Amino acid sequence: MSVATDSRGRLEGKLAVVTGASRGIGFAIARGLADRGARVIVSSRDPESCARAATDLGGIGVACDVADDAQVHALFDAVASHGGADVLVSCAGLGGGRLAAKTDRAELQTMLDVHYLGAMTAARLAAEQMRARGGGAMLFVTSIWGLGGASGTLAYGAAKAALAHSVKVLALEWARDGIRVNGLAPGYVATDMTADLPDAARDKMLSRIPLRRAARPEEMAGPACFLCSDEASYVTGHVLVADGGERAR
Please, which of residues 193-222 interact with ligand NAP by CB under 6 A?
A: 193-194
**110 counts as binding ligand NAP under rule CB under 6 A:** no
Q: Is 116 a catalytic residue?
A: no
Residue 189 is a binding residue for ligand NAP (CB under 6 A): yes
Nearer to ligand NAP, 134 or 148 (CB): 148
Cβ proximity of 53 and 97 under 8 Å = no
**H/E element holding 184?**
strand 179-186
- Of these, 30, 38, 66, 158, which contacts ligand NAP (CB under 6 A)? 66
Q: What kind and span of H or E run contains 17?
A: strand 15-19
DSSP assignment of 58-124, as one string?
Answer: T-EE----TT-HHHHHHHHHHHHHTT--SEEEE---------GGG--HHHHHHHIIIIIIHHHHHHH
CB of 11 to ligand NAP, least distance (A): 20
- Per-residue DSSP letter, 151: T
Minimum distance, C-beta of residue 175 to ligand NAP, in the bound complex (Å): 25
We find the least distance from the C-beta atom of residue 51 to ligand NAP, in angstroms, to be 11
Nearest in space to 114 (alpha carbons), one of 82, 143, 136: 143
Q: Which residues bind ligand NAP (CB under 6 A)?
A: 19-26, 44-46, 49, 64-67, 91-94, 114, 141, 143, 186, 188-189, 191-194
Catalytic residues, by residue number, are 156
